[in-house]
Amino acid sequence: MAIARIGVIGGGAWGTALAVAAERAGRPAVLWARETETVRAIARDRANPRYLPGIALDPGPGATTDLAEAAACDAVLLVVPAQFLRGVCRTLAPLLPGGTPVVVCAKGIELGTGALMTEVVTAELPRNPVAVLSGPTFAAEVARGLPTAVTLACADGEIGRSLAEALGSLSFRPYWSADLVGAEVGGAVKNVLAIACGIVAGRGLGDNARAALITRGLAEIVRLGVRLGGRPETLMGLSGLGDLTLTCTSMQSRNTSLGMALGQGRTLDEILAERHSVAEGVATSRAVTDLAARLGVDMPICAAVDTILARGGAIDETIAALMSRPLKAEGA
């Protein structure tokens, strides 16, 4: 299928960066943002100072507050926070032509339902084929045109390849996959594990502890992904191991930096009050812990993060409880 114009729903850092990536690939982008000031800044100054300060948007995408304008494109990227995705899809449904591919770019699991983002989109936009874009990406680096590789998962091979070709450029390289579940689980759970790694850094517990968290956290990702029908090899790829490694080892990550502040003794409310952007791992920690319990999947690190964030658990006591769990074989 031919994809000439790309609509991007969401004017935050990641949505803006993806709109710039589409423009670089020769596909004019229409970026929808809720905030009028964001649209004005992009149109007037070729910048999004609220979410991507100091970065010139070159080439600059078109921007609008009219959702119908973005919905009229040949493919639509959904780049809104995970917990708001269902509401946005409901608003989008009467505007979006049937058959237009929609690409989930949010990373999370829905609170209350435990639904993956593709399940949310399929329920609300049943006439539209769904794909997932996920991988090791910091929005600022994509916007600057630095080399980036991602997973683009779609059950329909023709649509998946068309989307990859539409977004691919010398600086942005999508690898096609048919495994939507694997691509989603890796992207969602790594945000929770990044908060854990940030806490370790903030507490000064050392690089050994961080490496252990990344490795044992990957085991949790694989257990949940396989239980939901994903493929292990996907979880060892860009949207699993790649995204986990990037997010857990850099203070550019919203989730890692949030965890570090927690580890240094600040409260969650204080940290969130200072931020414009969403740290997806906060809501996902509760959602993934509930989902894992329902499915009988052992995810002790994610549960520990949920204990600290939502259940009033003390950091040192929660870490001690993790370290005193019964010893077992590594592959168990």
Name residue 164's amino acid.
A
Of residues 24, 190, 203, 286, which has the active-site annotation?
A: 190
Nearest Cα residue to 79 out of 107, 111, 114? 107
Helical residues (DSSP H) of the chain, grouped into ranges? 13-24, 36-45, 67-71, 85-92, 117-124, 139-144, 157-167, 180-202, 207-227, 232-235, 243-248, 254-263, 268-273, 281-295, 300-310, 315-323
Q: How far apart are CA 272 and CA 214, in angstroms?
A: 24
Phi (first) and psi of residue 104, to 5 degrees? -80, 120
User: Is 190 among the catalytic positions?
Assistant: yes
Q: Check if the beta carbon of residue 100 is closer than 8 Å to that of residue 75.
A: yes
Residue 330, classified by CB atoms within 10 Å of its CB into exposed (0-12), middle (13-18) or buried (19+), is: exposed
Intra-chain end-to-end CA distance of the chain, in Å: 45
**3-class secondary structure, 107:** coil
Q: How far apart are CA 190 and CA 242, in angstroms?
A: 10
Q: Dihedral of CA 78/83/88/91: which sign?
A: positive
**What is the set of active-site residues?**
190
